[in-house]
Structure 1
Amino acid sequence: MTLTIALALFAAAFAAGGLNAVAGGGTLITFPALVAAGVPPIVANATSSVSQWPGYVASSLTFRRELTGQRAMAGMSIASVLGGLAGGWLVTVVSPRLFDVLIPWLILLATAMFAFSATLTRWMSQHAANVGRSTGALLLGQFVVSIYGGFFGGGMGIMMLALYSLFALDTLTRMNALKTWLSVLISGVAVLTFIAAGLVNWPAALVMLAGTICGGVAGARLARRLPALWLKRVVVALGSVLTAAFFWKVYG
Protein backbone atom coordinates (compact mmCIF):
# COMPACT_ATOMS: atom_id res chain seq x y z
CA MET A 1 0.00 0.00 0.00
CA THR A 2 1.47 3.32 -1.07
CA LEU A 3 1.54 6.42 1.12
CA THR A 4 -0.98 8.12 -1.17
CA ILE A 5 -3.48 5.27 -0.82
CA ALA A 6 -2.93 5.12 2.94
CA LEU A 7 -3.62 8.85 3.27
CA ALA A 8 -6.72 8.55 1.09
CA LEU A 9 -8.06 5.66 3.18
CA PHE A 10 -7.33 7.56 6.39
CA ALA A 11 -9.19 10.60 5.06
CA ALA A 12 -12.17 8.48 4.00
CA ALA A 13 -12.26 6.77 7.39
CA PHE A 14 -11.95 10.11 9.18
CA ALA A 15 -14.97 11.40 7.26
CA ALA A 16 -16.88 8.17 7.97
CA GLY A 17 -16.12 8.34 11.68
CA GLY A 18 -17.32 11.93 11.82
CA LEU A 19 -20.51 11.13 9.94
CA ASN A 20 -21.25 8.14 12.16
CA ALA A 21 -20.90 10.35 15.22
CA VAL A 22 -23.25 13.01 13.84
CA ALA A 23 -25.68 11.46 11.36
CA GLY A 24 -24.57 7.92 10.41
CA GLY A 25 -23.84 6.51 6.97
CA GLY A 26 -20.12 5.86 7.33
CA THR A 27 -20.30 2.58 5.41
CA LEU A 28 -21.18 4.55 2.29
CA ILE A 29 -17.71 6.11 2.50
CA THR A 30 -15.42 3.38 3.83
CA PHE A 31 -16.58 0.57 1.55
CA PRO A 32 -16.31 2.45 -1.79
CA ALA A 33 -12.97 3.95 -0.72
CA LEU A 34 -11.54 0.48 -0.20
CA VAL A 35 -12.91 -0.75 -3.53
CA ALA A 36 -11.41 2.31 -5.26
CA ALA A 37 -8.08 1.45 -3.62
CA GLY A 38 -8.14 -1.92 -5.37
CA VAL A 39 -9.42 -4.06 -2.50
CA PRO A 40 -11.79 -6.86 -3.69
CA PRO A 41 -15.42 -6.12 -2.67
CA ILE A 42 -15.76 -9.01 -0.20
CA VAL A 43 -12.49 -8.09 1.51
CA ALA A 44 -13.48 -4.41 1.39
CA ASN A 45 -16.75 -5.22 3.14
CA ALA A 46 -14.96 -7.14 5.90
CA THR A 47 -12.24 -4.50 6.29
CA SER A 48 -14.84 -1.71 6.44
CA SER A 49 -16.66 -3.56 9.22
CA VAL A 50 -13.46 -3.96 11.23
CA SER A 51 -12.58 -0.28 10.89
CA GLN A 52 -15.99 0.92 12.11
CA TRP A 53 -16.62 -1.49 14.98
CA PRO A 54 -14.81 0.55 17.68
CA GLY A 55 -17.11 3.46 16.86
CA TYR A 56 -20.13 1.35 17.79
CA VAL A 57 -18.46 0.43 21.07
CA ALA A 58 -17.70 4.05 21.92
CA SER A 59 -21.26 5.12 21.12
CA SER A 60 -22.70 2.30 23.21
CA LEU A 61 -20.67 3.36 26.24
CA THR A 62 -22.34 6.77 26.16
CA PHE A 63 -25.74 5.10 26.48
CA ARG A 64 -25.01 3.02 29.60
CA ARG A 65 -27.69 4.78 31.65
CA GLU A 66 -30.39 4.39 28.98
CA LEU A 67 -29.68 0.67 28.63
CA THR A 68 -30.45 -0.14 32.25
CA GLY A 69 -33.78 -1.82 32.86
CA GLN A 70 -34.56 -2.69 29.23
CA ARG A 71 -36.46 -5.96 29.54
CA ALA A 72 -36.08 -6.92 25.89
CA MET A 73 -32.30 -6.55 25.86
CA ALA A 74 -31.36 -10.15 26.73
CA GLY A 75 -33.51 -11.81 24.06
CA MET A 76 -32.65 -9.16 21.48
CA SER A 77 -28.94 -9.63 22.22
CA ILE A 78 -29.17 -13.37 21.55
CA ALA A 79 -31.10 -12.78 18.30
CA SER A 80 -28.50 -10.20 17.25
CA VAL A 81 -25.54 -12.51 17.90
CA LEU A 82 -27.15 -15.37 15.97
CA GLY A 83 -28.17 -13.12 13.09
CA GLY A 84 -24.78 -11.40 12.94
CA LEU A 85 -23.04 -14.76 12.83
CA ALA A 86 -25.33 -15.91 10.03
CA GLY A 87 -24.74 -12.74 8.02
CA GLY A 88 -20.99 -12.87 8.53
CA TRP A 89 -20.93 -16.53 7.53
CA LEU A 90 -22.85 -15.75 4.33
CA VAL A 91 -20.11 -13.30 3.34
CA THR A 92 -17.50 -16.04 3.69
CA VAL A 93 -19.37 -18.51 1.43
CA VAL A 94 -20.97 -16.29 -1.22
CA SER A 95 -19.17 -16.20 -4.55
CA PRO A 96 -17.27 -12.99 -5.39
CA ARG A 97 -19.34 -12.59 -8.57
CA LEU A 98 -22.63 -12.80 -6.68
CA PHE A 99 -21.37 -10.35 -4.08
CA ASP A 100 -20.39 -7.93 -6.86
CA VAL A 101 -23.91 -8.19 -8.29
CA LEU A 102 -25.50 -7.58 -4.89
CA ILE A 103 -23.38 -4.55 -3.96
CA PRO A 104 -25.24 -1.89 -6.01
CA TRP A 105 -28.55 -3.11 -4.60
CA LEU A 106 -27.19 -3.08 -1.05
CA ILE A 107 -25.86 0.47 -1.46
CA LEU A 108 -29.19 1.52 -2.99
CA LEU A 109 -31.06 0.00 -0.03
CA ALA A 110 -28.75 1.66 2.50
CA THR A 111 -29.08 5.04 0.77
CA ALA A 112 -32.88 4.79 0.55
CA MET A 113 -33.16 3.77 4.19
CA PHE A 114 -30.96 6.69 5.19
CA ALA A 115 -32.86 9.17 3.00
CA PHE A 116 -36.31 8.19 4.23
CA SER A 117 -35.42 7.21 7.79
CA ALA A 118 -37.54 9.89 9.45
CA THR A 119 -40.56 9.15 7.26
CA LEU A 120 -40.21 5.42 7.79
CA THR A 121 -39.87 5.69 11.55
CA ARG A 122 -42.82 8.09 11.75
CA TRP A 123 -44.99 5.74 9.65
CA MET A 124 -43.99 2.81 11.83
CA SER A 125 -44.90 4.73 14.97
CA GLN A 126 -48.33 5.58 13.57
CA HIS A 127 -49.04 1.92 12.85
CA ALA A 128 -47.66 0.59 16.12
CA ALA A 129 -51.16 0.20 17.55
CA ASN A 130 -52.02 -2.30 14.82
CA VAL A 131 -49.14 -4.62 15.69
CA GLY A 132 -49.47 -7.32 18.29
CA ARG A 133 -46.99 -7.35 21.16
CA SER A 134 -45.59 -10.70 20.10
CA THR A 135 -42.13 -11.16 21.57
CA GLY A 136 -41.46 -13.89 19.04
CA ALA A 137 -42.24 -11.57 16.12
CA LEU A 138 -39.96 -8.88 17.56
CA LEU A 139 -37.09 -11.35 18.01
CA LEU A 140 -37.60 -12.72 14.51
CA GLY A 141 -37.48 -9.21 13.08
CA GLN A 142 -34.29 -8.50 14.99
CA PHE A 143 -32.76 -11.74 13.75
CA VAL A 144 -33.54 -10.88 10.11
CA VAL A 145 -32.14 -7.34 10.45
CA SER A 146 -29.04 -8.79 12.13
CA ILE A 147 -28.42 -11.11 9.19
CA TYR A 148 -28.40 -8.08 6.90
CA GLY A 149 -26.19 -6.20 9.37
CA GLY A 150 -23.65 -8.99 9.50
CA PHE A 151 -23.65 -9.31 5.72
CA PHE A 152 -23.30 -5.63 4.80
CA GLY A 153 -24.49 -3.27 7.51
CA GLY A 154 -25.35 -0.06 5.65
CA GLY A 155 -28.66 1.24 7.02
CA MET A 156 -28.80 -1.44 9.72
CA GLY A 157 -29.40 1.06 12.53
CA ILE A 158 -32.28 2.69 10.68
CA MET A 159 -33.89 -0.72 10.13
CA MET A 160 -33.66 -1.48 13.84
CA LEU A 161 -35.18 1.83 14.91
CA ALA A 162 -38.04 1.32 12.46
CA LEU A 163 -38.63 -2.17 13.86
CA TYR A 164 -38.66 -0.93 17.45
CA SER A 165 -41.00 1.93 16.57
CA LEU A 166 -43.40 -0.54 14.97
CA PHE A 167 -43.56 -2.45 18.25
CA ALA A 168 -43.62 0.78 20.32
CA LEU A 169 -40.77 -0.71 22.30
CA ASP A 170 -39.74 2.32 24.38
CA THR A 171 -38.85 6.00 24.14
CA LEU A 172 -36.78 7.04 21.14
CA THR A 173 -33.70 7.69 23.30
CA ARG A 174 -33.86 4.25 24.91
CA MET A 175 -34.57 2.57 21.56
CA ASN A 176 -31.53 4.33 20.13
CA ALA A 177 -29.44 3.09 23.05
CA LEU A 178 -30.64 -0.46 22.46
CA LYS A 179 -29.94 -0.15 18.75
CA THR A 180 -26.38 1.01 19.45
CA TRP A 181 -25.68 -1.87 21.85
CA LEU A 182 -27.07 -4.46 19.45
CA SER A 183 -24.98 -2.95 16.65
CA VAL A 184 -21.92 -3.69 18.76
CA LEU A 185 -22.94 -7.34 18.98
CA ILE A 186 -23.94 -7.75 15.33
CA SER A 187 -20.82 -6.10 13.97
CA GLY A 188 -18.60 -7.75 16.58
CA VAL A 189 -19.54 -11.32 15.74
CA ALA A 190 -19.43 -10.55 12.02
CA VAL A 191 -15.95 -9.09 12.42
CA LEU A 192 -14.78 -12.19 14.30
CA THR A 193 -16.15 -14.31 11.46
CA PHE A 194 -14.32 -12.21 8.87
CA ILE A 195 -11.08 -12.43 10.84
CA ALA A 196 -11.35 -16.20 11.22
CA ALA A 197 -11.98 -16.53 7.48
CA GLY A 198 -8.94 -14.39 6.63
CA LEU A 199 -10.99 -11.78 4.77
CA VAL A 200 -9.52 -8.66 6.42
CA ASN A 201 -6.90 -6.50 4.70
CA TRP A 202 -5.06 -5.60 7.88
CA PRO A 203 -2.82 -2.77 6.60
CA ALA A 204 -5.89 -0.99 5.25
CA ALA A 205 -7.95 -1.88 8.33
CA LEU A 206 -5.41 -0.40 10.74
CA VAL A 207 -5.09 2.82 8.73
CA MET A 208 -8.87 3.19 8.58
CA LEU A 209 -9.28 2.23 12.22
CA ALA A 210 -7.11 5.19 13.19
CA GLY A 211 -9.10 7.39 10.84
CA THR A 212 -12.52 6.39 12.19
CA ILE A 213 -11.41 6.91 15.79
CA CYS A 214 -10.04 10.38 15.02
CA GLY A 215 -13.07 11.22 12.94
CA GLY A 216 -15.42 9.97 15.64
CA VAL A 217 -13.80 12.22 18.24
CA ALA A 218 -13.93 15.20 15.91
CA GLY A 219 -17.48 14.41 14.88
CA ALA A 220 -18.65 14.21 18.47
CA ARG A 221 -17.21 17.66 19.12
CA LEU A 222 -18.82 19.12 16.00
CA ALA A 223 -22.18 17.43 16.55
CA ARG A 224 -23.51 20.38 18.51
CA ARG A 225 -22.51 22.88 15.81
CA LEU A 226 -23.21 21.24 12.47
CA PRO A 227 -26.78 20.71 11.25
CA ALA A 228 -27.48 16.98 11.03
CA LEU A 229 -29.93 17.58 8.17
CA TRP A 230 -27.18 19.11 6.03
CA LEU A 231 -24.89 16.18 6.71
CA LYS A 232 -27.69 13.75 5.96
CA ARG A 233 -28.23 15.35 2.56
CA VAL A 234 -24.52 15.02 1.80
CA VAL A 235 -24.59 11.32 2.67
CA VAL A 236 -27.71 10.72 0.56
CA ALA A 237 -26.15 12.55 -2.40
CA LEU A 238 -22.96 10.53 -2.02
CA GLY A 239 -24.92 7.30 -1.75
CA SER A 240 -26.89 8.14 -4.89
CA VAL A 241 -23.70 8.76 -6.88
CA LEU A 242 -22.14 5.55 -5.57
CA THR A 243 -25.28 3.57 -6.38
CA ALA A 244 -25.20 4.80 -9.97
CA ALA A 245 -21.45 4.11 -10.23
CA PHE A 246 -21.73 0.54 -8.94
CA PHE A 247 -24.75 -0.21 -11.12
CA TRP A 248 -22.77 1.03 -14.13
CA LYS A 249 -19.75 -1.05 -13.10
CA VAL A 250 -21.79 -4.25 -12.75
CA TYR A 251 -24.45 -3.85 -15.43
CA GLY A 252 -23.07 -1.18 -17.75
Structure 2
Amino acid sequence: MTLTLALALFAAAFAAGALNAVAGGGTLLTFPALVAAGLPPIVANATSSVSQWPGYVASSLAFRRELSGQRQFAGMSVASLAGGLLGAWLVTVVSPRLFDVLIPWLILLATAMFAFSSTLTRWMGRHAANVGRSRNGLLAGQFVVSIYGGFFGGGMGIMMLALYSLFALDTLTRMNALKTWLSVVISGVAVVTFIVAGIVDWPAASVMLAGTIAGGIAGARLARRLPAIWLKRVVVALGSVLTLAFFWKVYG
Protein backbone atom coordinates (compact mmCIF):
# COMPACT_ATOMS: atom_id res chain seq x y z
CA MET A 1 0.00 0.00 0.00
CA THR A 2 1.37 3.37 -1.01
CA LEU A 3 1.48 6.31 1.37
CA THR A 4 -0.96 8.23 -0.84
CA LEU A 5 -3.48 5.39 -0.75
CA ALA A 6 -3.09 4.99 3.01
CA LEU A 7 -3.72 8.70 3.55
CA ALA A 8 -6.79 8.60 1.29
CA LEU A 9 -8.25 5.62 3.17
CA PHE A 10 -7.49 7.29 6.52
CA ALA A 11 -9.24 10.47 5.37
CA ALA A 12 -12.33 8.55 4.23
CA ALA A 13 -12.42 6.62 7.50
CA PHE A 14 -11.94 9.81 9.54
CA ALA A 15 -14.91 11.40 7.77
CA ALA A 16 -16.95 8.20 8.27
CA GLY A 17 -16.18 8.12 11.97
CA ALA A 18 -17.22 11.75 12.34
CA LEU A 19 -20.45 11.16 10.41
CA ASN A 20 -21.33 8.10 12.49
CA ALA A 21 -20.85 10.12 15.67
CA VAL A 22 -23.14 12.91 14.46
CA ALA A 23 -25.65 11.63 11.91
CA GLY A 24 -24.67 8.14 10.75
CA GLY A 25 -23.87 7.06 7.20
CA GLY A 26 -20.23 6.10 7.53
CA THR A 27 -20.68 3.02 5.34
CA LEU A 28 -21.43 5.30 2.39
CA LEU A 29 -17.86 6.61 2.73
CA THR A 30 -15.77 3.61 3.77
CA PHE A 31 -17.20 1.06 1.32
CA PRO A 32 -16.83 3.15 -1.89
CA ALA A 33 -13.36 4.29 -0.79
CA LEU A 34 -12.22 0.68 -0.47
CA VAL A 35 -13.75 -0.24 -3.83
CA ALA A 36 -11.99 2.75 -5.41
CA ALA A 37 -8.75 1.50 -3.82
CA GLY A 38 -9.09 -1.67 -5.87
CA LEU A 39 -10.60 -4.10 -3.38
CA PRO A 40 -13.27 -6.53 -4.64
CA PRO A 41 -16.72 -5.43 -3.35
CA ILE A 42 -17.09 -8.42 -1.01
CA VAL A 43 -13.68 -7.76 0.56
CA ALA A 44 -14.43 -4.02 0.70
CA ASN A 45 -17.71 -4.74 2.51
CA ALA A 46 -16.01 -6.96 5.08
CA THR A 47 -13.13 -4.53 5.61
CA SER A 48 -15.55 -1.63 5.98
CA SER A 49 -17.44 -3.52 8.69
CA VAL A 50 -14.23 -4.23 10.62
CA SER A 51 -13.16 -0.59 10.46
CA GLN A 52 -16.45 0.73 11.85
CA TRP A 53 -17.15 -1.75 14.64
CA PRO A 54 -15.09 0.05 17.36
CA GLY A 55 -17.22 3.14 16.80
CA TYR A 56 -20.38 1.20 17.61
CA VAL A 57 -18.76 -0.13 20.78
CA ALA A 58 -17.73 3.34 21.92
CA SER A 59 -21.23 4.72 21.31
CA SER A 60 -22.82 1.83 23.17
CA LEU A 61 -20.66 2.43 26.23
CA ALA A 62 -22.00 5.97 26.39
CA PHE A 63 -25.56 4.56 26.67
CA ARG A 64 -24.93 2.17 29.58
CA ARG A 65 -27.43 3.91 31.86
CA GLU A 66 -30.22 3.97 29.25
CA LEU A 67 -29.75 0.27 28.51
CA SER A 68 -30.39 -0.84 32.07
CA GLY A 69 -33.78 -2.36 32.78
CA GLN A 70 -34.90 -2.74 29.16
CA ARG A 71 -37.27 -5.71 29.07
CA GLN A 72 -36.52 -6.64 25.45
CA PHE A 73 -32.75 -6.56 25.90
CA ALA A 74 -32.04 -10.32 25.99
CA GLY A 75 -34.52 -11.40 23.32
CA MET A 76 -33.52 -8.63 20.92
CA SER A 77 -29.84 -9.44 21.44
CA VAL A 78 -30.43 -13.08 20.52
CA ALA A 79 -32.46 -12.12 17.43
CA SER A 80 -29.72 -9.69 16.39
CA LEU A 81 -27.01 -12.30 16.90
CA ALA A 82 -28.86 -14.86 14.78
CA GLY A 83 -29.82 -12.40 12.03
CA GLY A 84 -26.38 -10.79 11.88
CA LEU A 85 -24.74 -14.19 11.63
CA LEU A 86 -27.04 -15.24 8.79
CA GLY A 87 -26.49 -11.99 6.89
CA ALA A 88 -22.70 -12.19 7.27
CA TRP A 89 -22.70 -15.85 6.22
CA LEU A 90 -24.61 -14.91 3.06
CA VAL A 91 -21.80 -12.49 2.18
CA THR A 92 -19.28 -15.34 2.35
CA VAL A 93 -21.26 -17.69 0.07
CA VAL A 94 -22.90 -15.34 -2.45
CA SER A 95 -21.18 -15.14 -5.83
CA PRO A 96 -19.08 -12.00 -6.43
CA ARG A 97 -21.16 -11.22 -9.52
CA LEU A 98 -24.43 -11.33 -7.59
CA PHE A 99 -22.96 -9.15 -4.84
CA ASP A 100 -21.84 -6.63 -7.47
CA VAL A 101 -25.37 -6.52 -8.88
CA LEU A 102 -26.89 -6.01 -5.42
CA ILE A 103 -24.54 -3.20 -4.33
CA PRO A 104 -26.24 -0.31 -6.22
CA TRP A 105 -29.61 -1.32 -4.76
CA LEU A 106 -28.16 -1.58 -1.25
CA ILE A 107 -26.60 1.88 -1.51
CA LEU A 108 -29.88 3.24 -2.90
CA LEU A 109 -31.77 1.71 0.05
CA ALA A 110 -29.31 3.13 2.58
CA THR A 111 -29.47 6.59 0.98
CA ALA A 112 -33.27 6.56 0.92
CA MET A 113 -33.32 5.54 4.59
CA PHE A 114 -31.18 8.56 5.50
CA ALA A 115 -33.16 10.90 3.28
CA PHE A 116 -36.56 9.94 4.70
CA SER A 117 -35.57 8.75 8.18
CA SER A 118 -37.54 11.42 10.08
CA THR A 119 -40.64 10.96 7.93
CA LEU A 120 -40.43 7.17 8.22
CA THR A 121 -40.01 7.22 11.99
CA ARG A 122 -42.89 9.67 12.48
CA TRP A 123 -45.16 7.63 10.19
CA MET A 124 -44.33 4.42 12.04
CA GLY A 125 -44.94 6.15 15.36
CA ARG A 126 -48.40 7.36 14.25
CA HIS A 127 -49.37 3.82 13.29
CA ALA A 128 -48.12 2.28 16.51
CA ALA A 129 -51.68 2.10 17.86
CA ASN A 130 -52.62 -0.21 14.99
CA VAL A 131 -49.89 -2.71 15.84
CA GLY A 132 -50.27 -5.25 18.60
CA ARG A 133 -47.61 -5.41 21.26
CA SER A 134 -46.62 -8.84 19.97
CA ARG A 135 -43.19 -9.73 21.29
CA ASN A 136 -42.77 -12.32 18.54
CA GLY A 137 -43.54 -9.71 15.89
CA LEU A 138 -40.92 -7.37 17.31
CA LEU A 139 -38.32 -10.15 17.46
CA ALA A 140 -39.12 -11.22 13.90
CA GLY A 141 -38.69 -7.65 12.68
CA GLN A 142 -35.38 -7.34 14.49
CA PHE A 143 -34.20 -10.63 12.98
CA VAL A 144 -34.96 -9.42 9.44
CA VAL A 145 -33.23 -6.06 9.98
CA SER A 146 -30.24 -7.89 11.45
CA ILE A 147 -29.88 -10.04 8.33
CA TYR A 148 -29.59 -6.85 6.28
CA GLY A 149 -27.18 -5.40 8.86
CA GLY A 150 -24.90 -8.42 8.72
CA PHE A 151 -24.97 -8.43 4.92
CA PHE A 152 -24.33 -4.71 4.28
CA GLY A 153 -25.37 -2.49 7.18
CA GLY A 154 -25.87 0.96 5.67
CA GLY A 155 -29.01 2.46 7.20
CA MET A 156 -29.71 -0.42 9.59
CA GLY A 157 -29.85 1.92 12.58
CA ILE A 158 -32.66 3.91 10.96
CA MET A 159 -34.49 0.67 10.18
CA MET A 160 -34.27 -0.36 13.83
CA LEU A 161 -35.54 2.98 15.15
CA ALA A 162 -38.46 2.85 12.72
CA LEU A 163 -39.27 -0.70 13.87
CA TYR A 164 -39.19 0.30 17.55
CA SER A 165 -41.37 3.34 16.85
CA LEU A 166 -43.93 1.07 15.18
CA PHE A 167 -44.11 -1.04 18.32
CA ALA A 168 -43.97 2.04 20.61
CA LEU A 169 -41.16 0.29 22.41
CA ASP A 170 -39.87 3.03 24.73
CA THR A 171 -38.69 6.63 24.84
CA LEU A 172 -36.59 7.81 21.90
CA THR A 173 -33.44 7.98 24.02
CA ARG A 174 -33.83 4.43 25.30
CA MET A 175 -34.72 3.14 21.83
CA ASN A 176 -31.58 4.80 20.48
CA ALA A 177 -29.54 3.17 23.25
CA LEU A 178 -30.97 -0.25 22.39
CA LYS A 179 -30.35 0.34 18.69
CA THR A 180 -26.72 1.23 19.40
CA TRP A 181 -26.13 -1.90 21.48
CA LEU A 182 -27.76 -4.15 18.89
CA SER A 183 -25.57 -2.55 16.21
CA VAL A 184 -22.59 -3.74 18.27
CA VAL A 185 -24.02 -7.28 18.30
CA ILE A 186 -24.89 -7.37 14.58
CA SER A 187 -21.63 -5.82 13.41
CA GLY A 188 -19.60 -7.83 15.91
CA VAL A 189 -20.85 -11.22 14.74
CA ALA A 190 -20.42 -10.07 11.13
CA VAL A 191 -16.83 -9.02 11.79
CA VAL A 192 -16.00 -12.38 13.39
CA THR A 193 -17.58 -14.20 10.43
CA PHE A 194 -15.62 -12.14 7.90
CA ILE A 195 -12.36 -12.69 9.79
CA VAL A 196 -12.90 -16.46 9.98
CA ALA A 197 -13.76 -16.50 6.26
CA GLY A 198 -10.52 -14.67 5.49
CA ILE A 199 -12.11 -11.90 3.43
CA VAL A 200 -10.73 -8.90 5.36
CA ASP A 201 -7.93 -6.81 3.86
CA TRP A 202 -5.94 -6.15 7.05
CA PRO A 203 -3.58 -3.41 5.81
CA ALA A 204 -6.58 -1.36 4.67
CA ALA A 205 -8.58 -2.28 7.79
CA SER A 206 -5.77 -1.14 10.09
CA VAL A 207 -5.51 2.25 8.42
CA MET A 208 -9.29 2.73 8.47
CA LEU A 209 -9.60 1.62 12.09
CA ALA A 210 -7.27 4.44 13.10
CA GLY A 211 -9.24 6.85 10.95
CA THR A 212 -12.69 5.93 12.29
CA ILE A 213 -11.52 6.14 15.90
CA ALA A 214 -9.97 9.57 15.35
CA GLY A 215 -13.01 10.70 13.37
CA GLY A 216 -15.37 9.46 16.06
CA ILE A 217 -13.60 11.54 18.68
CA ALA A 218 -13.66 14.61 16.45
CA GLY A 219 -17.28 13.95 15.49
CA ALA A 220 -18.39 13.89 19.11
CA ARG A 221 -16.96 17.40 19.53
CA LEU A 222 -18.39 18.54 16.21
CA ALA A 223 -21.85 17.35 17.22
CA ARG A 224 -21.95 20.06 19.87
CA ARG A 225 -21.47 22.80 17.28
CA LEU A 226 -22.90 21.63 13.96
CA PRO A 227 -26.58 20.78 13.34
CA ALA A 228 -26.91 17.10 12.42
CA ILE A 229 -29.28 18.00 9.59
CA TRP A 230 -26.41 19.60 7.65
CA LEU A 231 -24.33 16.44 7.77
CA LYS A 232 -27.39 14.35 6.99
CA ARG A 233 -27.84 16.34 3.78
CA VAL A 234 -24.20 15.74 2.90
CA VAL A 235 -24.70 11.99 3.42
CA VAL A 236 -27.82 11.96 1.23
CA ALA A 237 -26.10 13.96 -1.54
CA LEU A 238 -23.07 11.68 -1.42
CA GLY A 239 -25.24 8.57 -1.37
CA SER A 240 -27.17 9.81 -4.41
CA VAL A 241 -23.97 10.33 -6.39
CA LEU A 242 -22.63 6.91 -5.35
CA THR A 243 -25.92 5.24 -6.24
CA LEU A 244 -25.75 6.64 -9.76
CA ALA A 245 -22.06 5.74 -10.06
CA PHE A 246 -22.56 2.13 -8.99
CA PHE A 247 -25.64 1.70 -11.17
CA TRP A 248 -23.61 2.98 -14.12
CA LYS A 249 -20.71 0.66 -13.23
CA VAL A 250 -22.92 -2.43 -13.02
CA TYR A 251 -25.59 -1.74 -15.63
CA GLY A 252 -24.05 0.93 -17.85
SS at match of 1:84: helix
**Take 1:54 and 1:214, find their aligned partners in 2: how far apart are those partners?**
11
Displacement of 1:235 in angstroms is 0.4
Match of 1:14 in 2: 14
Question: What is the distance in 1 between the residues matched to 2:42 and 2:115?
Answer: 25
Deviations 1:152-204, CA, capped at 9 Å, x for gaps: 00000000000000000000000000000000000000000000000000000
After superposition, what is the alpha-carbon deviation per residue over 1:24-76, rounded to whole angstroms, capped at 9, x for unaligned? 00000000000000000000000000000000000000000000000001000
Deviation, 1:248, is 0.1
Q: Which amino acid aligns with 1:223?
A: A
Match of 1:216 in 2: 216
Q: Alignment RMSD, CA only?
A: 0.3
- Matched residue type, 1:108: L
Amino acid in structure 1 at the alignment position of 2:199: L
- Could you list the per-position Cα deviations for residues 205-225 of structure 1 after superposition, in whole angstroms to 9, with x for gaps in the alignment? 000000000000000011010
CA–CA separation in structure 2 for the residues paired with 1:139 and 1:14: 34
1:26-105 pair list within 5 angstroms = 26-105=26-105
- Distance in 1 (alpha carbons) for counterparts of 2:157 and 2:208: 21
Counterpart position of 1:139: 139
Q: Deviations over 1:74-112 (max 9, x none)?
A: 000000000000000000000000000000000000000
Distance in 1 (CA, whole Å) between partners of 2:59 and 2:234 is 22
Q: Which amino acid aligns with 2:231?
A: L
Amino acid at match of 1:156: M
Secondary structure of the corresponding residue to residue 46 of structure 2: helix
> Under a length normalisation based on structure 2, what TM-score does the superposition of the two structures give?
1.00
| Counterpart mapping for 1:127-166 below 5 A | 127-166=127-166
CA-CA distance at 1:227 after TM superposition: 1.2
Secondary structure at the counterpart of residue 33 of structure 1: helix
Moved runs in structure 1, 4+ residues, more than 2 A? Answer: none
Mind listing any 5+ residue stretches in structure 2 that lack a counterpart? none
Letter in 1 for 2:108: L
Other-structure match for 2:106: 106
Work out the CA distance in 1 between the residues paired with 2:102 and 2:113.
16
Q: Which whole-Å CA distance do the structure 2 matches of 1:171 and 1:11 have between them? A: 36
Q: Which amino acid aligns with 1:170?
A: D
- Output the amino acid matched with 2:187: S
Q: TM-score, normalised by structure 1?
A: 1.00
Letter in 2 for 1:232: K
Partner of 1:2: 2
Cα distance in 1, alignment partners of residues 237 and 204 from structure 2: 26
Counterpart mapping for 1:169-180 below 5 A: 169-180=169-180
Identity between Structure 1 and Structure 2 (%): 88
Query: Where does residue 251 of structure 2 map in the other structure?
Result: 251
Instruction: State the distance in 2 between where 1:216 and 1:167 align.
Output: 31
Unaligned runs of 5+ in 1: none
Aligned-partner SS, 1:225: coil
Measured in 1, the distance between the counterparts of 2:227 and 2:199 equals 37
Cα distance per residue 1:224-243 (max 9 Å; x no partner): 10111110000000000000
The aligned residue for residue 117 of structure 1 is 117
CA distance in 1, matches of 2:136, 2:189: 22
Secondary structure of 2:85 counterpart: helix
Q: Is 1:205 paired with 2:233? A: no
